[in-house]
Structure 1
Amino acid sequence: MAHSIALAGKRRSIRALAPLNLFLADVRDGVGPYLAIYLLSVRHWQPGSIGLAMSLPGLVAVLLQTPAGSLVDTSTHKRRLLVLASVVVAASCVAAVTFVSPPVIYATQMLTGAATTIYAPVVAAITLGLVGHRRFAQQTGHNEAWNHGGNVLAAVLAGLIGYYWRYEGIFYLVALMCALGSWSALRINPKDIDNDLARGKGADNPQTDEIETAKDASAAKESAAAKPATETEDSAGAKAASGTDPAATEKGVEQTAGFRQVLGNPRILRFAIAVVLFHFANAAMLPLVGQKLALSNQKASALFMSACIIVAQLVMIPVAAWVSRRAPDAGRKPVFLLAFAVLPVRGVLYTLSNNAYFLVGVQVLDGLAGGIFGVISVIMIADLTRGTGRFNFVQGAIATALGIGASLSTVGAGYLVQHFGYRVGFLALAAVAAVALAFFWFFVEESNPAKNEAIKGELQAA
């Protein structure tokens, strides 16, 4: 009876991930572009001051993302980290519309940048700690689907509030989302989170498998029957990533890998280079599309820009759900290759027309690539760090690299557009995307232990 009650409680904790991702979707980026509009139209700031305010969260995030990941690895109070970050973001939003002093705005932006570094690693850590490695791909897809749904909901509500009421209401909307996200986090029982699993250390515990539905359990049995009796996906991943024996892990002798050990891992380095190239090619595309829309129809540019975001997010919802089902069977790499292949095509398509409806339509490809990237990138990091105890640290390090790549992308693309036009800018980004595709294809290995023959060979040699 007590065992059944414990399993029921864990299921409730897992179900709480849905509203958590829904409500925190828009909180992860703070107020975002709405702050720029507010400062320009309501506070009458100069563009230079607005640019400084908008750049501060990104700069702070680049500095703190890696330490934030390490903090999540070591902390056993992950729910409290989420709540604390949400309180900081909510207070910053309220302060931004309460005080008119530029130093206050700058300070709140820096606090927001620091707080938002917590969200991605801590949600991934809680998910891994709740469901284990074997169900992580499926649950991450569910998380991303709810996250994209939350982005759509927030975009619609923000648009309605800004149009029918006033822009200040958008800031209070984000504060409300922070409160609801905190409530969702507190619905998760901390005892249900395996803190070793949450940092990528050790194999799944037996109770994790017992929370599956009958359908999942049946599929798992068929999959297990097809594998050698001496090897499971969990043991393969743990040994491949850290060089330790899962049997030793169960005895508590597995050691946490050093920072240099994981950052010097060739598989992790090659994966990091590939995703940074992807993000370098991707980050500047949407801002450039927004500029093209403004040039063709300035009055309706904000409406079309919102449409670009909503179209992409709507596509990401089913894509994320599909990826979570497909990745375990097809492997991670074939699915991720689709996202890499779509990006250069998208860059070229943007050069073919200035028609606003065409440009919005191309955003379907952004939704396809973004939906895949959001799920598979986290799953592959979990694969590559399994057994090391540095899952969230590596997440943070790669996020830092992505942030730097995104900044260089927007600066470089802006320079090219200024001197050579939008066509050259988009084609340059498409060329970088093609390089990213080639690099990923030839140099990044399949990370699913059940699909990687090289990992199996290492296991046999060990």
Structure 2
Amino acid sequence: MTCNSRKVSGGSLVALASLNFFLADARDGLGPFLDGFLATHGWSPMSLGIVATLGGLLGLVATPLFGALVDGSPHKRLLVAVPVVLITAAALWTLASPGNAAVFGGQSMTAIVGAVIGPALMGLTLGLVGEQAFPNQVSRNEFWNHTGNVFSLACIYIATIFFGLTGVIAMMILTAAATLFAVVAIDPRQIDDKVARGLKPDDGVPGPSGIAAITRSPGLILLAMTLLIFHFGNAPMSRLIAQNFSIQLGTPFRTTAIVTGVSQLSMIGVALAAPFLINRWGLASAFVIALCALPIRGAIAGAFPSFTSIYPVQFLDGVGAGLIGIATPIAAERILSGTGRFNAGLAVVMTIQGIGASLSNVVAGWLTSLGGYGLAYWVHGGVAVLALLLFLPMRHLIAPHRT
């Protein structure tokens, strides 16, 4: 298949970079701070696991529906903007009243509306730059996303020192507003809706239905199963570390800012290195490195319970999750190229990996209650070995070369 690229104005590309920078904070609401905040308000690891699982399950239901919506909608900017407003409102509700109604209600809304942002952002990116430039643009998106996360974490760390919870609220409102300005700054005339769904510019109609395109793509199914296993192992690790040290140190926002900031700094380096890695050694190499990072991460976290262990542990989180985050949409785009079902297919992959992430939260809570945080680290870190064993013999289907 002949690859295509598109000429895009510098203004739209700057706006896309700004969108990823500010969206890093605005798309998740309280995000990594939720567990530390609630843990210091009396919520147990099991209760927090149930909250995360409920949100994950609701997101699972919504994601494939939203993926199909993104494929068919010419309003991809709106599909980013509306969730940001609702997610910010839900986070402010939780901060104001961290009881059952706000936590379960707010996180449920965040999970449902947040499910559209991932497919919408990938579709918007593909529609702007085209297939040929898509892998490098995904890496640039991730670079700005993680840079935005580090900036946000630093601002929240400082804001809590000087202004407490009021500083956190102000940061959330400012980043949500900046995200909306960035969305508006992208020129909608430069988004090719056919290219955005995985069609060539001259193709008139999509290929098979979303379900048919997915079921006829063994590579996509194998990709989804690999990610299900990986995210079952990886998803609760940072949450557990944030809970553990937030309780020990009594500073949930600052502790979580450090824990998350280390992994985000690592992800910035990964985003810069990923294009070279993929172009030089192939897409499969990114998956192999990511899948190897998680067992090592779990072993270090389980063997060394001191706070200083978070630096190598979270560095490896940046390597594993960072590479997976870049490689996944690239793999899905290559597998589904020409079908016109890219966003629907990517949404299905995200749904299946979300099953692993959601189920892992309750398991992690149970393991922590059974044998402490160390047991949970060992078990969830070791799970990634199974993902590596699945990926290696099937890597030519999961991570194909560009044709």
Please state which band the TM-score falls in when normalised by the shorter chain.
0.7 to 0.9
Alpha-carbon displacement from aligned partner over 1:212-232 (angstroms, at most 9, x marks no partner): xxxxxxxxxxxxxxxxxxxxx
Q: For residues 383 and 267 of structure 2, what CA distance do their matches in structure 1 show? A: 23
Is the counterpart of residue 371 in structure 1 residue 331 in structure 2?
no
CA gap of 1:115–1:441, structure 2 versus 1, over 3 A, is same
Identify the residue that residue 381 of structure 2 maps to in structure 1.
Answer: 430
Q: Give the conservation status (yes or no) of the 8 Å contact 1:24–1:147.
A: yes
What is the letter of the counterpart of residue 232 of structure 2?
Answer: F
Matched position secondary structure for 1:16: helix
Q: For residues 328 and 79 of structure 2, what CA distance do their matches in structure 1 show? A: 23
Q: For residues 311 and 125 of structure 1, what CA distance do their matches in structure 2 show? A: 29
Gaps of 5+ in 2: 1-5
Is the counterpart of residue 322 in structure 1 residue 320 in structure 2?
no
CA gap of 1:277–1:155, structure 2 versus 1, over 3 A, is same
Identify the residue that residue 343 of structure 1 maps to in structure 2.
Answer: 294
Q: For residues 56 and 415 of structure 1, what CA distance do their matches in structure 2 show? A: 16
Using the TM superposition, give the Cα deviation of residue 75 of structure 1 relative to its aligned residue in structure 2, in angstroms.
Answer: 0.4
Higher mean C-alpha displacement, 124-133 vs 58-67 = 58-67
Matched position secondary structure for 2:26: coil
What is the letter of the counterpart of residue 385 of structure 2?
Answer: A
Q: For residues 53 and 302 of structure 2, what CA distance do their matches in structure 1 show? A: 28
Q: For residues 134 and 395 of structure 1, what CA distance do their matches in structure 2 show? A: 18
Q: For residues 291 and 40 of structure 1, what CA distance do their matches in structure 2 show? A: 6
Q: For residues 407 and 426 of structure 1, what CA distance do their matches in structure 2 show? A: 16
Using the TM superposition, give the Cα deviation of residue 114 of structure 1 relative to its aligned residue in structure 2, in angstroms.
Answer: 2.1
Q: For residues 199 and 70 of structure 1, what CA distance do their matches in structure 2 show? A: 9
Is the counterpart of residue 408 in structure 1 residue 359 in structure 2?
yes
1:396 to 341, 347, 364: 347
* TM-score, scaled to structure 1: 0.77
Q: Give the conservation status (yes or no) of the 8 Å contact 1:89–1:175.
A: no
Matched position secondary structure for 1:444: helix
Matched position secondary structure for 2:298: helix
Using the TM superposition, give the Cα deviation of residue 314 of structure 1 relative to its aligned residue in structure 2, in angstroms.
Answer: 0.4
Q: For residues 422 and 76 of structure 1, what CA distance do their matches in structure 2 show? A: 46
What is the letter of the counterpart of residue 371 of structure 1?
Answer: G
CA gap of 1:99–1:254, structure 2 versus 1, over 3 A, is closer
Matched position secondary structure for 2:186: coil
What is the letter of the counterpart of residue 149 of structure 1?
Answer: T
Higher mean C-alpha displacement, 87-96 vs 178-187 = 87-96
Is the counterpart of residue 261 in structure 1 residue 213 in structure 2?
yes
Q: For residues 434 and 78 of structure 1, what CA distance do their matches in structure 2 show? A: 37
Higher mean C-alpha displacement, 159-168 vs 297-306 = 297-306
CA gap of 1:365–1:97, structure 2 versus 1, over 3 A, is closer
Using the TM superposition, give the Cα deviation of residue 257 of structure 1 relative to its aligned residue in structure 2, in angstroms.
Answer: 3.6
Identify the residue that residue 87 of structure 1 maps to in structure 2.
Answer: 85
What pairs up with 1:56-455 in 2 under 5 angstroms? 56-96=54-94, 103=101, 106-202=104-200, 250=202, 252=204, 255-293=207-245, 297-299=248-250, 303-445=254-396, 450=401
Using the TM superposition, give the Cα deviation of residue 180 of structure 1 relative to its aligned residue in structure 2, in angstroms.
Answer: 0.9
Alpha-carbon displacement from aligned partner over 1:253-310 (angstroms, at most 9, x marks no partner): 6534441331342111111111111111111222333455467x43467644432211
User: Which entry has the higher C-alpha Rg, 1 or 2?
Assistant: 1
What is the letter of the counterpart of residue 14 of structure 1?
Answer: L
Q: For residues 161 and 126 of structure 1, what CA distance do their matches in structure 2 show? A: 33
Q: Give the conservation status (yes or no) of the 8 Å contact 1:262–1:388.
A: no
What is the letter of the counterpart of residue 16 of structure 1?
Answer: A
Q: Give the conservation status (yes or no) of the 8 Å contact 2:391–2:398.
A: no
CA gap of 1:33–1:371, structure 2 versus 1, over 3 A, is closer
Identify the residue that residue 218 of structure 1 maps to in structure 2.
Answer: none
CA gap of 1:39–1:364, structure 2 versus 1, over 3 A, is closer
CA gap of 1:115–1:423, structure 2 versus 1, over 3 A, is closer
Identify the residue that residue 3 of structure 2 maps to in structure 1.
Answer: none
Matched position secondary structure for 1:387: coil
CA gap of 1:253–1:83, structure 2 versus 1, over 3 A, is closer
Using the TM superposition, give the Cα deviation of residue 401 of structure 1 relative to its aligned residue in structure 2, in angstroms.
Answer: 1.8
Q: Give the conservation status (yes or no) of the 8 Å contact 2:36–2:246.
A: no
Q: Give the conservation status (yes or no) of the 8 Å contact 2:206–2:341.
A: no
What is the letter of the counterpart of residue 324 of structure 1?
Answer: P
Q: For residues 191 and 288 of structure 1, what CA distance do their matches in structure 2 show? A: 44
Q: For residues 50 and 301 of structure 2, what CA distance do their matches in structure 1 show? A: 29
Q: Give the conservation status (yes or no) of the 8 Å contact 2:88–2:176.
A: yes
Identity, % of aligned pairs?
A: 31
When the two structures are aligned, how many residues end up with a matched partner?
397
Alpha-carbon displacement from aligned partner over 1:72-122 (angstroms, at most 9, x marks no partner): 111001112212222222333445556788646644433322221121111
Alpha-carbon displacement from aligned partner over 1:110-146 (angstroms, at most 9, x marks no partner): 3322221121111111110011111101000000010
CA gap of 1:368–1:74, structure 2 versus 1, over 3 A, is same
User: Which structure ranks higher in relative contact order (CA pairs < 8 Å, sequence separation ≥ 6)?
Assistant: 2
What is the letter of the counterpart of residue 296 of structure 2?
Answer: V
Q: For residues 36 and 205 of structure 2, what CA distance do their matches in structure 1 show? A: 55
CA gap of 1:99–1:395, structure 2 versus 1, over 3 A, is same
Using the TM superposition, give the Cα deviation of residue 430 of structure 1 relative to its aligned residue in structure 2, in angstroms.
Answer: 3.2
CA gap of 1:158–1:14, structure 2 versus 1, over 3 A, is same
Matched position secondary structure for 2:337: coil
